């Protein structure tokens, strides 16, 4: 008795002692003081807030700051009193009006934040988040103050660098004065407040380095190492335009910093070496610093080393200086423009197109929403216009403008030529008609359209930078993996694919195994029915066990592909190059005796549909798992559309083509089929539409027109299926509505989107996340393809979570599926069942 009572007392005592200390660790309550030697540590332990001295020789100079907790690297990411160091023992207190006050030993205020006018009875504490943000959240849920809104020299995941559309004012990340002096230094970084269309780094007040000009809402994806992906996004809302970045879960600490020596760097922590590794650093060379090449010249970064050149139609102003490497005087026209004036203005002039350029600075944005022809005509018709550039803004989601026309009137400075694979856009220079490659309004415009389309696909800010990394990483990984991970017991044939793939000297030879037909017959027990694990429009899939026990999936393509064996093999090699953790890996191929076989990794959990739509098993998929599947499929699709250089459109994304690995991570299957089968099925000329009923976008099923936006549509349908657990082709369970899509839309409109959530996982479901997903899903299934977001936007929205929900447009009613009505659905449904996975609908 006594013993148990004292045990209880001891427990109570422990609780009493421990509770306040654990809750106080990451928080500073009103009236409390943080003393000189005390710290706050974020819940999760990543960041610490406290006082530090940057210079060991001068320990008396103390600053309030936030740094990474890991003892191996006390890297300061934020400083409060940048130019007012404390001499004695400083303290930090939170006043009852929610203002933070840092004072020195004598009580002198060195730094403070503005409080909120009325101090409510219940003032919230200041809390250090595990993202490194010191936050005071007001009782009404709004942010009273946060350190993320007051960056110093470091840009962390979750932070935003903004420019307000209303005031034109923007955030700046400002370097330290020197490595041991946090006072504001010379160099700063932020969005160009003049145009909001580019990022600038300044040395004092002068531009020092400039990013490419932005061409729409975009996400840049950078693959650092297996499992570490960095997403950088530009988000344009009605109020502001901002730059933000995030990293994939579990990634090592990652930050951008503006150094005191004038570099803007992306760094990631390398635990093995206990040091920061520099992933990128700008400016990358002297040639790429602002205006290094002078007027009417550009830095050619495709040359090694990068060097200055004159724009087409121009020659060095001072040839002697130019050849000796002094480029400051720039270039001048070889041939003067004819006198301009009077009415037309366009006579006697034309344009030279320079593709793959980081276009010059000092442009002005012509009124939006023009066609390429109109943009050319605007420039041709204005005597002071010397150049223009036109971009299609299909990727700019929220705004009405579908294009961007920018024009230059004065000197052309700070242009760059970029490797075409890394992005850039076409610059049209005004020249005398005789020197022109295109005439205004006519041929020029057609060229503009032709060039604009591929450019848009890679219209990512900073694409170039990410691309280098991506190539490097992939090449390295493939070299090791193709040796290590490809199946033992397979004869590997070496195929040189570098020319086909256009990688030039970047890739060495690629090991791609060609597997003997006999081996496959043995592995699949002569294509035994009992080993068949799937069937689709492209052929049958068998489970096979190769020599050495390696289990694979073998896809035997149906013979109606009119591709030759060599062509097929080349395609397969291309597809094998598409490697992403959310794509099923292609391991090899076989082309013997008219047979075309593809060998894939085998995934024991099979298709998502087998679990998602099975009332007995669907509870395995709780909400976090489903959200992980949605995000994974989105990333895989983004990779196919944008990041892989091949621009693969899947055309048959559906639940059964999403396979799950042992950890329930999704892998998209059948993604290369459109390529493998050649373009004839892709274009409308065969009048055949390939796809599965319910997942096919309206414009595809009625007009045979498809694009990456048709895949976005299928993704939207899949997303709604995953959230609701209802098959798009289901006839039961969607009340009186003709389809899952219209059911979802009506629930959404009535503010009851939560009712769509699959009851079997309602317990684990976050309403905010589910509602964001449904919102995104409904945007993806809009009838008008141009209103659907690109996968880059989808990934960005999903990664940024509900914070991004506010800026999303409202989905419009999906009229098409409702108009189609039930009759046409039923007949197609028959068709779907007959061919199991694949339906071939007849186009118009
Ligand atoms: C807030 O603090 C000020 C000064 O410390 C004090 O005069 C005031 O009474 C306090 N207000 C409340 C509501 O506690
Ligand atoms: C510090 O407090 C003063 C007085 O409340 C206020 O005027 C000033 O704006 C505050 N400083 C900052 C940086 O908010
Ligand atoms: C920055 O500007 C200052 C003054 O104009 C100049 O002395 C310095 O060299 C510049 N720094 C760099 C890295 O260009
Ligand atoms: C860390 O550095 C070591 C040594 O340079 C290198 O081998 C390793 O790949 C690096 N790790 C990461 C995750 O980059
Ligand atoms: C011609 O271009 C200049 C510079 O962009 C601009 O200021 C001017 O208004 C334009 N003129 C016409 C008629 O559009
Ligand atoms: C731009 O043009 C497109 C189609 O030409 C139109 O749908 C859109 O409303 C226009 N946007 C604005 C802001 O005028």
Per-residue pLDDT tens digits for 673-711: 766 654 444 433 333 455 676 787 777 766 666 778 889
Rounded distance between C-alpha atoms, residue 76 and residue 68, angstroms: 7
Rounded distance between C-alpha atoms, residue 27 and residue 24, angstroms: 5
Residue closest by Cα to atom 2 of ligand 6 = 369
731 lines ligand 1 (CB under 6 A): no
> Closest ligand to 115 CA?
2
SS3 category, 197 = coil
For the cut 60, the answer to whether the pLDDT of residue 70 exceeds it is yes
> Closest ligand to 264 CA?
3
Least confident of 375-379, 394-398, 799-803: 394-398
Gap from CA of 720 to ligand 5 centroid (Å):
49
For the cut 70, the answer to whether the pLDDT of residue 331 exceeds it is yes
For the cut 70, the answer to whether the pLDDT of residue 165 exceeds it is yes
Residue closest by Cα to atom 9 of ligand 6 = 400
To the nearest whole percent, how much of the chain has pLDDT over 90? 30
Gap from CA of 288 to ligand 5 centroid (Å):
30
Task: Give mean pLDDT, residues 115-126.
Answer: 70
For the cut 70, the answer to whether the pLDDT of residue 312 exceeds it is yes
119 lines ligand 1 (CB under 6 A): yes
Rounded distance between C-alpha atoms, residue 289 and residue 422, angstroms: 19
Residue closest by Cα to atom 9 of ligand 2 = 114
Domain 495-601 fold is Phosphorylase Kinase; domain 1 (3.30.200)
Q: What is the CA radius of gyration of the chain?
A: 30
* The pLDDT value given to residue 441: 42
**DSSP per-residue string spanning 96-154:** TTS-EEEE-TT--EEEE----SS--SSPPPEEE-TTS-EEEE-TTSSEEEEGGGS--SE
Q: Is 631 annotated in some ligand binding site?
A: no
383 lines ligand 5 (CB under 6 A): no
Rounded distance between C-alpha atoms, residue 645 and residue 505, angstroms: 16
CATH superfamily membership of 18-265: Bulb-type lectin domain (2.90.10.10)
Q: Which of 174, 185, 186, 188 to mutate to test the pocket of ligand 3 (most atoms within 8 A of CB)?
A: 186
Token pair in block for residue 431: 């020249």
* The pLDDT value given to residue 330: 93
Beta carbons within 10 angstroms of residue 723's beta carbon: 25
777's enclosing H/E stretch is helix 767-780
380 lines ligand 5 (CB under 6 A): no
262 lines ligand 3 (CB under 6 A): yes
Token pair in block for residue 11: 């427990």
For the cut 50, the answer to whether the pLDDT of residue 121 exceeds it is yes
- Between strands 297-300 and 415-417, the pairing is parallel
Classify residue 463 by its DSSP letter.
H
Rounded distance between C-alpha atoms, residue 785 and residue 763, angstroms: 35
For the cut 70, the answer to whether the pLDDT of residue 257 exceeds it is yes
Gap from CA of 100 to ligand 4 centroid (Å):
41
Token pair in block for residue 831: 């068709």
* The pLDDT value given to residue 536: 65
Task: Give mean pLDDT, residues 824-837.
Answer: 29
Rounded distance between C-alpha atoms, residue 490 and residue 524, angstroms: 15
Least confident of 128-132, 221-225, 785-789: 221-225
Residue that has been written with the tokens 């400039």 in this structure = 210
- Beta-bridge partners for 298: 309, 415
342 lines ligand 3 (CB under 6 A): no
* The pLDDT value given to residue 179: 92
Which residue from 552, 430, 461, 583 is spatially nearest to 196, judged by alpha carbons? 461
204 lines ligand 3 (CB under 6 A): yes
C-beta separation of 378 from 370 below 8 A: yes
Gap from CA of 676 to ligand 5 centroid (Å):
51
Q: Which of 371, 393, 402 to mutate to test the pocket of ligand 6 (most atoms within 8 A of CB)?
A: 402
Gap from CA of 388 to ligand 4 centroid (Å):
45
The set of protein residues with a Cβ atom below 6 angstroms from ligand 6 is 369, 400-402
Can you tell me which atom of ligand 3 is nearest the CA of 289? 14
Which residue from 235, 513, 531 is spatially nearest to 395, judged by alpha carbons? 235
Look at 763 and 219; give whichever has higher pLDDT. Answer: 763
Can you tell me which atom of ligand 4 is nearest the CA of 228? 13
Structure confidence by residue, pLDDT tens digits, 777-818: 999 998 888 888 889 889 988 887 766 666 677 787 776 554
Task: Give mean pLDDT, residues 121-147.
Answer: 85
Rounded distance between C-alpha atoms, residue 711 and residue 682, angstroms: 13
Q: Which of 230, 250, 277 to mutate to test the pocket of ligand 4 (most atoms within 8 A of CB)?
A: 277
Gap from CA of 391 to ligand 5 centroid (Å):
20
Q: What angle do CA 683, 689, 690 make, to 5 degrees?
A: 105
Q: Active-site residues: which are they? A: 652
Most trustworthy range by pLDDT among 20-24, 363-367, 410-414, 767-771: 410-414
112 lines ligand 2 (CB under 6 A): yes
Bond before 352 cis per omega within 30 degrees? no
| pLDDT band, residue 419 (cuts 50/70/90) | confident
Rounded distance between C-alpha atoms, residue 554 and residue 596, angstroms: 10
CATH number of 608-838: 1.10.510.10
Residue closest by Cα to atom 8 of ligand 1 = 96
Which residue from 19, 56, 68, 434 is spatially nearest to 257, judged by alpha carbons? 68
Rounded distance between C-alpha atoms, residue 296 and residue 317, angstroms: 10
The interaxial angle of helices 791-800 and 623-638, nearest 10 deg, is 150
* The pLDDT value given to residue 708: 83
Which residue from 300, 289, 328 is spatially nearest to 203, judged by alpha carbons? 289
113 lines ligand 2 (CB under 6 A): yes
Look at 124 and 343; give whichever has higher pLDDT. Answer: 124
Can you tell me which atom of ligand 5 is nearest the CA of 378? 14
Can you tell me which atom of ligand 1 is nearest the CA of 119? 13
Task: Give mean pLDDT, residues 304-313.
Answer: 91
C-beta separation of 843 from 703 below 8 A: yes
Most trustworthy range by pLDDT among 49-53, 192-196, 799-803, 809-813: 49-53
Gap from CA of 176 to ligand 3 centroid (Å):
15
Where are the chain's structural domains? 18-265, 288-438, 495-601, 608-838
Q: Where are the alpha helices (DSSP H) in 297-399?
A: 319-323, 372-380
225 lines ligand 4 (CB under 6 A): yes
Residue closest by Cα to atom 2 of ligand 1 = 96
Can you tell me which atom of ligand 4 is nearest the CA of 224? 14
pTM of the predicted model over 0.85: no
Gap from CA of 254 to ligand 4 centroid (Å):
14
205 lines ligand 3 (CB under 6 A): no
């Amino acid at each position: 008795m006594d013993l148990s009572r004292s045990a209880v007392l001891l427990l109570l005592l422990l609780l009493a002692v421990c509770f306040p200390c654990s809750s106080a660790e990451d928080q500073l309550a009103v009236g409390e003081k943080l003393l000189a030697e005390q710290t706050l540590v974020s819940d999760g332990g990543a960041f610490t807030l406290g006082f530090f001295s940057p210079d060991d020789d001068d320990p008396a100079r103390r600053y309030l700051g936030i740094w990474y907790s890991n003892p191996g690297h006390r890297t300061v990411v934020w400083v409060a009193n940048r130019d007012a160091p404390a001499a004695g023992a400083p303290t930090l207190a939170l006043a009852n009006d929610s203002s933070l006050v840092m004072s020195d030993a004598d009580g002198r205020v060195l730094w403070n934040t503005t409080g909120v006018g009325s101090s409510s009875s219940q003032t919230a504490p200041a809390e250090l988040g595990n993202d490194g943000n010191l936050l005071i959240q007001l009782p009404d849920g709004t942010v009273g103050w946060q350190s993320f809104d007051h960056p110093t020299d470091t840009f962390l995941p979750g932070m935003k660098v903004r420019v307000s559309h209303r005031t034109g004012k923007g955030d700046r990340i400002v370097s330290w004065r020197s490595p041991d002096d946090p006072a504001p230094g010379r160099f700063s970084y932020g969005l160009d407040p003049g145009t909001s269309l580019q990022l600038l780094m300044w040395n004092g007040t002068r531009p020092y380095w400039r990013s490419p000009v932005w061409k729409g809402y975009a996400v840049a994806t950078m693959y650092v190492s297996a499992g570490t992906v960095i997403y950088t996004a530009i988000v344009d809302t009605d109020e502001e335009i901002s730059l933000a970045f995030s990293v994939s879960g579990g990634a090592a600490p990652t930050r951008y910093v503006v150094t005191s020596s004038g570099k803007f760097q992306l760094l990631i922590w390398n635990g093995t070496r206990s040091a920061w590794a520099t992933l990128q650093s700008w400016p990358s060379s002297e040639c790429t610093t602002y205006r290094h090449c002078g007027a009417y010249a550009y830095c050619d970064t495709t040359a090694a080393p990068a060097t200055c050149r004159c724009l087409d139609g121009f020659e060095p102003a001072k040839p002697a200086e130019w050849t000796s490497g002094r480029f400051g005087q720039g270039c001048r026209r070889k041939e003067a423009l004819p006198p301009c004036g009077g009415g037309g203005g366009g006579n006697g002039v034309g344009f030279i197109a320079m593709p793959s350029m980081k276009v010059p600075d000092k442009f002005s944005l012509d009124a939006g929403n023009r066609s390429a022809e109109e943009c050319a005509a605007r420039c041709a018709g204005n005597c002071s216009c010397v150049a223009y550039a036109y971009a299609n803004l299909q990727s700019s989601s929220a705004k009405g403008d579908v294009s961007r026309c920018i024009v230059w009137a004065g000197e052309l400075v700070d242009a760059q030529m970029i490797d075409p694979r890394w992005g850039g856009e076409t610059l049209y220079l005004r020249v005398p008609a005789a020197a022109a490659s295109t005439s205004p309004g006519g041929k020029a415009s057609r060229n503009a359209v032709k060039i604009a389309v591929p450019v848009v696909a890679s219209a990512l800010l900073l694409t170039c930078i990410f691309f280098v990394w991506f190539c490097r990483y992939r090449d390295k990984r493939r070299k090791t993996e193709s040796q290590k991970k490809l199946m033992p017991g397979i004869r590997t044939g070496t195929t040189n694919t570098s020319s086909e793939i256009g990688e030039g000297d970047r890739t060495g030879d690629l090991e791609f195994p060609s597997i003997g037909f006999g081996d496959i017959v043995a592995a699949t027990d002569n294509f035994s029915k009992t080993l068949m694990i799937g069937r689709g429009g492209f052929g049958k899939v068998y489970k096979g066990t190769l020599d050495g026990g390696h289990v694979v999936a073998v896809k035997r393509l149906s013979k109606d592909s009119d591709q030759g064996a060599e062509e097929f093999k080349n395609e397969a090699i291309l597809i094998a190059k598409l490697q992403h953790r959310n794509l099923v890996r292609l391991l090899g191929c076989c082309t013997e005796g008219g047979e075309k076989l593809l060998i894939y990794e085998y995934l024991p959990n099979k298709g998502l549909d087998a679990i998602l739509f099975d009332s007995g098993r669907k509870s395995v998929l709780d909400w976090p798992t489903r959200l992980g599947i949605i995000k994974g499929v989105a990333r895989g699709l983004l990779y196919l559309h944008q990041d892989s250089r091949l621009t693969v459109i899947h055309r048959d994304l559906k639940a059964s083509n999403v396979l799950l690995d042992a950890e329930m991570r999704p892998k998209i299957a059948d993604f290369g089929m459109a390529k493998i089968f050649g373009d004839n099925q892709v274009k409308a000329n065969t009048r055949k539409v390939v796809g599965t009923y319910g997942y096919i976008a309206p414009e595809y099923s009625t007009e045979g027109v498809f694009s990456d936006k048709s895949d976005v549509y299928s993704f939207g349908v899949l997303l709604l299926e995953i959230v609701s657990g209802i098959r798009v082709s289901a006839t039961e369970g969607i009340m009186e509505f003709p389809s899952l899509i219209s059911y979802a839309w009506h629930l959404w409109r009535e503010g009851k989107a939560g009712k769509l959530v699959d009851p079997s996982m309602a317990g684990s479901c976050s309403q905010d996340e589910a509602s964001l997903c449904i919102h995104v899903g409904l945007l993806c299934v809009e009838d008008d393809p141009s209103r659907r977001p690109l996968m880059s936007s989808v990934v960005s929205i999903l990664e940024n979570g509900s914070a991004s929900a506010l800026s999303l447009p409202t989905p419009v009613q999906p009229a098409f599926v409702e108009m189609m009505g039930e009759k046409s659905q039923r007949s197609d449904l028959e068709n779907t069942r007959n061919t199991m996975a694949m339906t071939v609908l007849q186009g118009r």
